[in-house]
Structure 1
């Protein structure tokens, strides 16, 4: 599929929000304003990322396709699971653990992405609305089972799968309906309303947005399914609202980063976890927040820098084409 500047711009903005969200996470409880910003970002940034991943998901489902997924997703998972385990030990992270079945921090996405592709081979045989309805039902039901949690990222896999499946069924023309003027205007209102609600309503347990805990762990075992359905609806509205404002034209210094987000995603944890353990930052004023945003942007640019890609390409893609280009 020919690269589309809109989707690369979206990926770049979303990966920035992933880094920024992880950077400000320790300060989310420091003030109501920080909690509002953190929660507001987490409502949509991963659902939007997953929706776009589903849009570009194509494959035959044969053994060659499965093996390609193993090399692209599971092999990097194993490599970085070991790297992060060793790194956490070196920096003295208190809750480090060595299990391959318990994804280290953000590595859950690789396991889930592999599983979404496998699930897709069965769900794409169903009519779109039927398949999406079943996926939503599964995402709601799994919350009632405490056994389905962090292990192999099962909870997140099932809870976020509807966004992946919806993305798969969307055509480019349907996707671009978000660029209508009416949608953009409504999007501003929706984003503002959610910020207002998060700020003034009782604190939202962000476990709902991380999708890794059961309803029992979240304290709403009896009516957890209703809450998750509301979270689905809220995330969908926010995804549409944010994507409506993604620029369609190429942006110098920004658009090209969209093709390199996997590097930023896998590597930014080395910075974030060190910052957390060292206690390097605090947020005492708006200027501090702007500074953290600038640091987040710097991390994105650094990790998407071609020399960095060349160094880590063998670990992430299993290739050395960038290194060979440099040597030649």
Structure 2
């Protein structure tokens, strides 16, 4: 098999994975208001959170291979920065004008809702660039150490997404160095069936005994002190959670189809789902929708709605109408920078 064909197969697999993950993201955010009402929904929510953020960061690292350095890397950083400014402003304006939320402090240094991912993505790239002289194994070891140590700092973990940046950094670096060839050989039919069974088993374990697992540990945005763990060995808990997330993420890969399909095309536009679905979740939370959801059937309807909306937001028409905000052009900034540097050199 040629390297080009292998790269295409890898891209297909990870685009499929990216779409399945954004479906999980939408479902997880949609059912969050219900987790205190229903044990089954709480278990589903915790099951999703054991893998969906680590894997999403992992996939992001994988696709960063071609755009980490050089002008391509600079353009990505510029675009992430512009996306953050646009949506941080949009959410703040909507809170003040439409939702009229009181007692909430808006700041560009405190990422709003899901925008933490943009702030962290910006930082992951910078950190990985600074570690380029280290071997991949050394990079992962350093990132795991940083992810453990950041929990001991006495600060607000949500500030500039500082905590999540370092907690999920190992997954970004692992994704960047990941080889699809090794995975493809491993994902046999038997392994896929086993993975699905183990994933179901994980859900059962969470259903039977996951009530004591604090979601904040999986969010990665809280320090050990904020999680009410002041022990010196609190970092060992994070290490054990890394193992849980690694296990949950690995077995979720058994759900991912390897062949190109409609999912692959949808996977090319997950950024649109990611940034736009937060608006839908915000509107739903402000509406009386959740007052009417008390039964399993209604909950299934909510989950089905989240899946349908994910597909709708993945359509080319959505990209056509929202691309100026989702993928803002940055070439004009690059040109301004070149002109400024040219004048400075003269």
Are 1:187 and 2:195 counterparts?
yes
The change in CA–CA distance for 1:80 and 1:52 in structure 2 (over 3 A counts) is same
Greater shift after overlay, 193-202 or 136-145? 193-202
Question: Which residue, out of 69, 74, 86, partners 1:67?
Answer: 74
Deviations 1:53-78 (A, max 9, x none): 1112124634x345312322011100
Residue 235 of structure 2: SS of its match in structure 1? helix
The residue number in structure 1 matching 2:90 is: 83
Question: Which residue, out of 53, 65, 83, partners 1:46?
Answer: 53
Which residues of structure 1 form unaligned runs of 5+?
Answer: 321-328
Mapped to 1, the partners of 2:73 and 2:159 lie a distance apart of 22
Mapped to 2, the partners of 1:38 and 1:131 lie a distance apart of 31
Deviations 1:214-265 (A, max 9, x none): 101111221321111111000000111011220111233x321100000110
The residue number in structure 2 matching 1:266 is: 275
Are 1:316 and 2:326 counterparts?
yes
Question: Which residue, out of 274, 286, 298, partners 1:288?
Answer: 298
Question: Which residue, out of 18, 38, 50, partners 1:31?
Answer: 38
Normalised to the residue count of structure 1, the TM-score between the two structures is: 0.91
Normalised to the residue count of structure 2, the TM-score between the two structures is: 0.86
Mapped to 2, the partners of 1:94 and 1:298 lie a distance apart of 32
The residue number in structure 1 matching 2:63 is: 56
Greater shift after overlay, 115-124 or 24-33? 115-124
Are 1:97 and 2:85 counterparts?
no
1:164-183 → structure 2 map (5 Å cutoff): 164-183=172-191
The residue number in structure 1 matching 2:161 is: 153
Q: Is the 8 A contact 1:8 1:259 kept in 2?
A: yes
Mapped to 2, the partners of 1:216 and 1:144 lie a distance apart of 7
> How big is the shift at 1:148?
5.1
CA RMSD of aligned residues (A): 1.9
Question: Which residue, out of 225, 238, 253, partners 1:243?
Answer: 253
Question: Which residue, out of 286, 290, 309, partners 1:277?
Answer: 286
Question: Which residue, out of 14, 19, 32, partners 2:26?
Answer: 19
Residue 312 of structure 2: SS of its match in structure 1? helix
> How big is the shift at 1:81?
0.3
Mapped to 1, the partners of 2:69 and 2:317 lie a distance apart of 34
Q: Is the 8 A contact 1:85 1:96 kept in 2?
A: no
> How big is the shift at 1:131?
1.4
The residue number in structure 1 matching 2:171 is: 163
Residue 312 of structure 1: SS of its match in structure 2? helix
Which residues of structure 2 form unaligned runs of 5+?
Answer: 1-6, 331-346
Greater shift after overlay, 237-246 or 155-164? 237-246
Q: Is the 8 A contact 2:147 2:166 kept in 1?
A: yes
Are 1:231 and 2:238 counterparts?
no
Q: Is the 8 A contact 1:128 1:169 kept in 2?
A: yes
> How big is the shift at 1:294?
1.6
Greater shift after overlay, 51-60 or 215-224? 51-60
The change in CA–CA distance for 1:96 and 1:266 in structure 2 (over 3 A counts) is farther
Deviations 1:37-63 (A, max 9, x none): 10010110111111111112124634x
Greater shift after overlay, 205-214 or 142-151? 142-151
Greater shift after overlay, 182-191 or 34-43? 182-191
